[in-house]
């Protein structure tokens, strides 16, 4: 890609994006500029990744064709407002701030700006992320495809309309926490059965990862894959019976619904 990339803010998620882009080797390190308010942090990133350090957010705005706004949601509008007058009209702004709408971003950048709202999740840190990409009307198809390619360098990414961003939060953005809780519960049960804690986490985590891969790779319905494991009168169907009795499905659906509602409330603030 013959584009200059800029980062305003570069915390854990910003580094995940940066690392994925560099690993894909379509953009050279010298075509990437990074700015954070802490100069020593910028230097650490420059030393680690070989990218260019910027002295200010305005310098990034004047240089980059694509800018990742990777700062916290509570400061992103001010940060973008400070650089708005330094942007070229064709600069693409990609926000990864949760809960900040395209309209809010346009209110500080200008309604004539090309803006994308992206929501990566924390598995992006290990190159297994899932990201939703929501462009405004000014983003071209070529720019959308280029953005999808950038995020697919460290996982999977799909374009979604903004009206379903709350389900994205529930099923992807917040979901790693539910999965970690499930892995911990599986491991606790294994420890209760006599397995060491270290092995219990390894067995549980690998089972979850492998099961997810089966869903993605086979394209089969999760229920069909579940049936493949449940032998008549066996151990698995007995465990499934207890999970159904205790209301696992209902609990998960209610939890995700609560997550979506909280996302809606935060989006109105």
Per-position pLDDT tens, the chain of length 269: 688 999 999 998 999 999 989 988 889 999 999 999 999 999 999 999 999 999 999 999 999 999 999 999 899 999 999 999 999 999 999 999 988 999 999 999 999 999 999 999 999 989 999 999 999 999 999 999 999 999 999 999 999 999 999 999 999 999 999 999 999 999 999 999 999 999 999 999 999 999 999 999 999 999 999 999 999 999 999 999 999 999 999 999 999 999 999 988 887 76
**C-alpha–C-alpha distance, residues 102 and 204, integer Å:** 39
**C-alpha–C-alpha distance, residues 264 and 269, integer Å:** 9
pLDDT at residue 247, rounded to an integer: 97
Residue ranges per domain, the chain? 5-160, 173-267
Outline where the chain has alpha helix (H).
12-24, 39-49, 57-63, 76-83, 102-109, 141-151, 165-168, 175-192, 197-218, 222-229, 235-245, 248-267
Provide φ and ψ at 240, rounded to 5°. -60, -40
Please check whether residue 153 is in contact with residue 128, taking contact to mean a CB–CB distance below 8 angstroms: no
* Nearest residue to 149 (alpha-carbon basis) of 13, 54, 23, 266: 23
State the architecture of 173-267 in CATH terms.
Answer: Orthogonal Bundle (1.10)
**C-alpha–C-alpha distance, residues 109 and 105, integer Å:** 6
* Sign, Cα dihedral of 269, 71, 147, 168: negative
Place of tokens 């209902």: 250
How would DSSP label each residue in 10-37? -SHHHHHHHHHHHHHTSS-GGGEEEE-S
- Burial of residue 70, with CB atoms counted within 10 A of its CB: 0-12 exposed, 13-18 middle, 19 or more buried: buried
Q: What is the pTM of this model?
A: 0.91
How many CA atoms does the CB half-sphere of 193 hold within 13 Å?
Answer: 9
CB atoms inside a 10 Å sphere around CB 144: 16
Q: Which fold has domain 5-160?
A: Rossmann fold (3.40.50)
* Nearest residue to 27 (alpha-carbon basis) of 60, 65, 57: 65
């Amino acid at each position: 890609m013959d584009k200059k990339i800029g980062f305003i803010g570069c915390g854990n998620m910003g580094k995940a994006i940066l690392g994925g882009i560099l690993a894909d080797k379509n953009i050279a390190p010298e075509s990437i500029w990074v700015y954070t308010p802490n100069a020593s942090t910028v230097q650490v990133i420059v030393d680690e990744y070989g990218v260019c350090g910027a002295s200010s957010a305005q310098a990034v705005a004047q240089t980059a064709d694509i800018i990742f706004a990777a700062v916290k949601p509570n400061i992103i509008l001010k940060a973008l407002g400070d650089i708005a007058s330094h942007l070229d009209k064709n600069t693409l702004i990609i926000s990864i701030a949760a809960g900040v709408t395209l309209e809010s971003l346009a209110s500080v950048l200008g309604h004539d700006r090309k803006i994308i709202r992206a929501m990566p999740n924390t598995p992006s840190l290990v190159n297994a992320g899932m990201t939703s990409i929501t462009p405004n009307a000014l983003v071209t198809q070529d720019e959308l495809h280029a953005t999808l390619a950038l995020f697919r360098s460290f996982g999977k990414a799909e374009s979604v309309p903004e009206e379903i961003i709350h389900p994205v939060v529930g099923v992807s953005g917040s979901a790693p926490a539910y999965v970690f809780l499930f892995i911990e519960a599986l491991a606790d049960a294994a420890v209760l059965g006599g397995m060491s804690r270290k092995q219990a986490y390894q067995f549980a985590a690998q089972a979850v990862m492998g099961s997810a891969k089966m869903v993605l790779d086979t394209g089969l319905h999760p229920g069909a894959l579940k049936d493949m494991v449940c032998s008549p009168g066996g151990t698995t169907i007995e465990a499934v019976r207890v999970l159904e009795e205790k209301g696992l499905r209902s609990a998960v659906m209610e939890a995700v619904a609560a997550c979506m509602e909280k996302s809606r409330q935060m989006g109105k603030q």
